[in-house]
Each structure stands twice: as C-alpha cells, then as structure tokens.
Chains A and B, each alone.
Chain A
Amino acid sequence: MYLKELTELDGVSGNEQQVREFISDKIKDKVDELKVDVLGNLIAYRKGTKGGRKIVLAAHMDEVGFMVTNIEDDGTLAFAPVGGVETQVMVGKIVRINGQTLGAIGYKAIHIQDKEQILKPLSIDQLRVYIGAKSKEEAARQVKIGDYVAFTTTFDQENNRLTGKAFDDRAGCSVLMDIIDKIDRYEDDVYFAFLVQEEVGLRGSAVVVEQIHPDIAIVIEGTTAGDDPELPEYQWATHLGDGPAITFMHRGYVVNKRVYESIIEVAEKYSIAHQAKRRTAGGTDAARFARTGAGTAAAVVSVPSRYIHSPVSMIDLNDYNNTVLLLQKILEQGEAFAR
C-alpha cells in the first residue's frame, strides 16, 4: 500500500507531476511498457498470457485544490477552486502553494463579525491565502498567478481507519500499484492507467480509449460515503467497512450491465465483502470511457470514503484490502470474466 506517500504529495488537477513521478518510479521495473501521453496520463502495460482482450484499470492522480488567481496589494493571494471544493472546508487550514510556500486561509475573528455573518456560508471572494507577505512585491517574490495550491494534511492510520487528504483518488492509484506488485500475469492484456484532470471534467480519460481501444475498463475510485449522524441511513451513499462499492449508475452513465453483474459474481464467488453505491450523484472516468471513440464497456469499483473533497478524508483498511482482492480475482478470471 502506497497511500501515505501518495496522499502526502500535491497533485491538483493539471499539476499531477509529483504523483506521476512517484508512481512511475515505483512501477517502471514491474511492467512491460510505460509511457506518459500528451495530456500527462501515465499508462503502464502488462502483456497477457493469451492476449485475447485488453482490460484497462484506471485511477486518477489528481485531487481537488486551488489556483492562485491574483496577488493583492496587501500581499494576500486571491484564489479559486480547482474541482469541487466547498468554502466550508477552506477556512482555518494551512495550504501549500506550488509545492513549497506555506500559507494560511483564515477569516476575520468571530468578535468582529455580525450575528448574521457567523452562520452565513462564506463566498470565496471573502477568503485569501496569507503567506506572511505584507505587499504585492514581497508576495510576488515567492508565488505567481496560476500557481497551484494544495491542502497539507499528513497521513495517519489507526484503528483500521486511514485518514488524510486526496483519498479521492490516491486510494485508486494505490490499489492499482498493489495489483502491479502482485506480478501475476493474467490471460488478458492489462493496462494500468493513472489519469490526470478527473476533477475538472473527466479530461485525462478522454484520450485513453484512442490509445488502447480497450474491451473493458474498470475505474477504481474513492467515493462518497455520507454514513454519518447528520444524514439519515436511507440517504447514505456507502457505508465504511461494508466492502468496495460497486456502481450501477452515476451521473451521465448507466454502467454496462454485463460488467457490473460480472463484478458482483466474482465478489460473491470469493465471498468478498461488497456493497452497491446507493446514490447516483457524482461522475467518474467510466462515463468518459463509455462515450469516447468506439466506446468501452466500463465499470466502477470504489473504496468508500468519508469527507472527500475536504482536507481530511477517511477510509477503512478492510474496504481497501477487499478492493485490491476483488480486482485481483477479476483479473484472475481471465477470459471468463464478463463474457
């Protein structure tokens, strides 16, 4: 498992190189081919023993974050979200700009806010990143407009729970890397695609189908949970500890029925804990694979994650391990899978 290293790297959409270099370095000697495409996707290939079909396993390297959009006269930085981040999770956090400069996102003290202001959600134009600079010139020596900004949460593991930033989708990246480590050769040709720019509109995945022409694609995600006291149980999307979540439909895509059912068959055959993702909000690269080029039979398997798109999310270790196991068993079915 590579989650500690992976989640402590910065890789906001469009700026994934730290993550790509880390993964590339770890897997380059374990695969038959490795390349970085025009958009920055890292694609590894392992030849199958029969090679009758091409299967893509995909996870995205990028995470939500921010971009510096202006340097103010007082030396603070105006910023805009990259991907979906609520202002609610921004305040009171330390961020890292361009992989090095630290800054704080503060807000004016409760003592000097009106009563209505206290319970009114902030809009992003009320927030700035403070890097300790007192003028535009001083700030401009360290940062520039267009610099990427990431949260700085460090990884932790206790009580079978993993916490940190960017489990969406470093969890998927780590699952793929674990499968590569199992050095099994499967009947089908397997492509491991580490994608860019998922959080800004499923963009990296758009150029993958044309390069591979896969028969099947399985996207591995860190997906929403919502299993907390503020949501009644009927509104939960997934529940931590109940196993990988298998998606039957999400925004813009009804998952290929044959692949969806085959995944569940494998989980049941090997008694691997699994659950259905019970909400259809949110999208994944599976939608892009399905509608690109000649189309692909795409599916989604996810590690349930609490508090995603915030500086600190949480997954269950058993769910993670069961996700790796499920995908391994799927590949072991070889040509029998999703026939």
Chain B
Amino acid sequence: MKLDVKELIKELSSLDGPSGYEKAVLELIEKKIEPLVDRVWYNKVGTLIAEKKGTGSGRLGIFAHADEVGYVVTKLEKGLFARLETIGGVDPKVIFAQRVKIYTAKGIAKGIVGVLPPHLQKEEHRSKVPSFDKIFVDLSCSELGEYVSVGDICVVDVKPVELNGKLCGKAMDNRAGCASLILAAQLLRNIRNYQDVYFVFSSQEEVTGLGAVSIAYELRLDRAIVVDVTHGDVKIPQFVQIKTGEGPALCVGPVIDKEFYSKLYQTAQRNNVKIQIEPAPGRSGTDTDEVQLSGTGVRTTLVSIPLMYMHTPVEVVDPRDVEETARLLALATTIE
C-alpha cells in the first residue's frame, strides 16, 4: 500500500519526542519502514537503523533526526504551577498561552502556559519578554497536575493543520525529514539501490547530535546524506532565499564532500528533481557537521527541506518538498 505523504507527516508530527525521549516516534517509524527493508535495529543511544542491502558496493547512511525541541519541568510552585527549561533552542515568545502536555509517571497531565492579562501589565512587563525563569505552567486544569515531578518532559499540545496544501504544526523539524526517508525506502521497491543503504533515525540532534555520530561510527559509512530542515521563505541578510514548494535545498560548503555533492547534483538534474542550492560557509547546524568527522571521515552531503517558523508550534512544510526529497534520496542510492 502506498503511503499518503500528508497523512504520514501529520502522524509523525502528532507524536511527541523531545531529545532523549524519541521512543514513540521511533516505534511508529519502525512499524512503517520494517516491511520495506531487510533489517531494523536500535543502537545503544536510542537511534533506529533500517538496512537495505544493495546490488553493488559501498555503504550509504541516510540520516534524519527523530527528536524535536521541547521542555522539561525544573521546579514546582505552590498552587499547582510548574517552571520549565527548554530542550534545544526555543524562543520564549512562542510559548505564551499555549496548551502543553506533561508526561508524568501516571500519564499525560494537561497544562497551560500562563500570561499576565493586559489589564494587569505594567511598563516593566511590556518592555521585555519574560525569560524561562518567569514563565510558568498552570497545572490546575489537570487531574494529574498533582503528579507532575521535576524532570518530567513537556511538549506543546498542538495538532497539525493544513493551510492551502501546506502542513503546519510542531516538530515538522524534522518529522518531515523522517517522512522523506520512509517514502524513499518505499521507492526502493522500484529503484534498486547499488549501495547498501542504512536509514538512520537519530536521537538528540537538538541538543548534541550524539545519535547520529554514534551510528556513523558503528557503521563505518562511506557516504552519508543528512536530511534536515532549513529556513524557508524568510529573508536572511547576505543569503539566497530558500523557498517552500521549490524542492529540497542542497547544501554547499566545507561540511559537504565536493565529489559526492556533484554526483548528487547531477543525479537530480538528470531526473528533473526540483532542487535549490544553499550555501553554508562553516558549520551547517545539522548532524552533517559531526558525521563528516566520524571515524576516518565520511563523505557527506546535506539535503534540507524548506520550513517556515522553525522551532515554533506552527512550523510549515510543503509536502511536495518532502516527496521531492524522497525521490532524490531514492535516486542517490544508485550512485556508484
């Protein structure tokens, strides 16, 4: 049965998996990808690998991180309130008046991130955004509120919605990438891979990237394609504007292997895969940076899905970009 790209992205985005707590996400991916590959397993640090043997030689890792940014409860206050710190980089401006879910030992507690109403605000409140020291979650709206403990994981409670064919929700970074790997595995039923392919769904990219580096080391890869997201439809001074709906962005720069990039670029051209070029003059801020340095070195490329409003509860991706990425990945496995 062919997977529906929109449903797949929505399903993946709806699951909660902040760094270190990716289990639910990985279990769904495992279920989806297992019938499409030869073997699946997990490594020691919670990364899922799906292997599909090729007809020729070489070992290609295709990476997507499965984790998302989130929060952790760091303090409890009198009257059923909790304080949070972030897991990964989150702008405090996006968290006010959001519903949140807190994973307690007894189940999911509901919470609301409180905000002072305009009637009670003073100049000091208006002139500065409260930092996470000042932000609080109201747990009184939850039967499990009293069971919330320090160390419990917290995520924003949002459901993905469709905006004129685009998908909007949390954790599109990088569930869109995960979806493209699953779709690529499906395409390998028709496109035979020359290289042995390892689809890697890595943990903890948003904090250290340890999931990706550990498995890159274990697998002794020849080549790696990292699939992540990049800022779409936003002006970044001095940089070309990457657009949603125009296909994945291929990264160029020191963290990218020139030869592998050139082969990937030509593959895209030959097969009319819509791509954009994104320069990264130094580190790319993705797993690519560390995967390249693994073992005796890996020939890396980075393929990024354009995304709007990164690390907010309203991240937007165009499912056509996810499909185009999947096509590029499947074709890349034929590179000799």
Q: Are B97 and A312 in contact (CB under 8 A)?
A: yes
The docked-state distance in angstroms from the alpha carbon of A230 to that of B114 is 9
Of residues 137 through 156 on chain B, the ones whose CB sits less than 8 Å from some CB of chain A are 138, 140-143, 145, 156
Q: Is B314 an interface residue (CB 8 A)?
A: yes
Q: Is A215 an interface residue (CB 8 A)?
A: no
CB neighbours (8 Å) of A235 from chain B are 120
Most B CB contacts (10 A, CB to CB) among A103, A119, A142, A229 go to A229
The docked-state distance in angstroms from the alpha carbon of A88 to that of B98 is 11
Q: Are A102 and B120 in contact (CB under 8 A)?
A: no
CB neighbours (8 Å) of A108 from chain B are 231, 234, 309
Q: Are B140 and A240 in contact (CB under 8 A)?
A: yes
Q: Are B118 and A158 in contact (CB under 8 A)?
A: no
CB neighbours (8 Å) of B92 from chain A are 118-119
Q: Is B168 an interface residue (CB 8 A)?
A: yes
CB neighbours (8 Å) of B161 from chain A are 94, 102, 104
**Chain A proximity of B203: nearest CB distance (Å):** 21
The docked-state distance in angstroms from the alpha carbon of A85 to that of B168 is 23
Of residues 60 through 99 on chain B, the ones whose CB sits less than 8 Å from some CB of chain A are 77-79, 81, 89-99
Q: Is B164 an interface residue (CB 8 A)?
A: yes
Q: Is A113 an interface residue (CB 8 A)?
A: yes
CB neighbours (8 Å) of B143 from chain A are 158-159
- Contact segment of B8-16, B32-40, B124-132, B212-220: B124-132
The docked-state distance in angstroms from the alpha carbon of A89 to that of B113 is 10
Of residues 194 through 217 on chain B, the ones whose CB sits less than 8 Å from some CB of chain A are none
CB neighbours (8 Å) of B309 from chain A are 92, 104, 106-109
**Chain A proximity of B167: nearest CB distance (Å):** 9
CB neighbours (8 Å) of B162 from chain A are 102, 132
CB neighbours (8 Å) of A281 from chain B are 119-120
Partner of B136, one of A104, A134, A230, A282: A230
Given A88-B129, A94-B161; A113-B114 close (CB under 8 Å): no
**Chain A proximity of B293: nearest CB distance (Å):** 22
Q: Are A307 and B117 in contact (CB under 8 A)?
A: yes
Q: Is A204 an interface residue (CB 8 A)?
A: no
CB neighbours (8 Å) of B310 from chain A are 109-111
Q: Is A161 an interface residue (CB 8 A)?
A: yes
Q: Are B93 and A314 in contact (CB under 8 A)?
A: no
- Per-position binary interface string of chain A over residues 46-81, scored 1 when its CB falls under 8 Å from any chain B CB and 0 otherwise: 000000000000000000000000000010000000
**Chain A proximity of B311: nearest CB distance (Å):** 5
CB neighbours (8 Å) of B134 from chain A are 230
Q: Are A279 and B97 in contact (CB under 8 A)?
A: no
CB neighbours (8 Å) of B226 from chain A are none
Q: Is B245 an interface residue (CB 8 A)?
A: yes
A-B contact pairs, 6 of them (CB 8 A): A91-B96, A104-B163, A106-B308, A109-B231, A112-B234, A131-B163
Top 9 closest pairs, chain A to chain B, by CB: A132-B164, A106-B309, A132-B163, A109-B310, A92-B94, A310-B97, A104-B314, A110-B91, A161-B141
**Additional A-B contact list (16), CB under 8 Å, known A132-B166, A229-B136:** A92-B98, A94-B314, A102-B162, A104-B163, A107-B309, A111-B310, A121-B93, A131-B164, A132-B162, A138-B164, A142-B164, A161-B140, A224-B117, A228-B116, A230-B116, A306-B114
Binding site for A on B (CB under 8 A): 77-79, 81, 89-99, 110, 112, 114-121, 126-131, 134, 136, 138, 140-143, 145, 156, 158, 161-166, 168, 231, 233-234, 236, 245, 285, 308-316
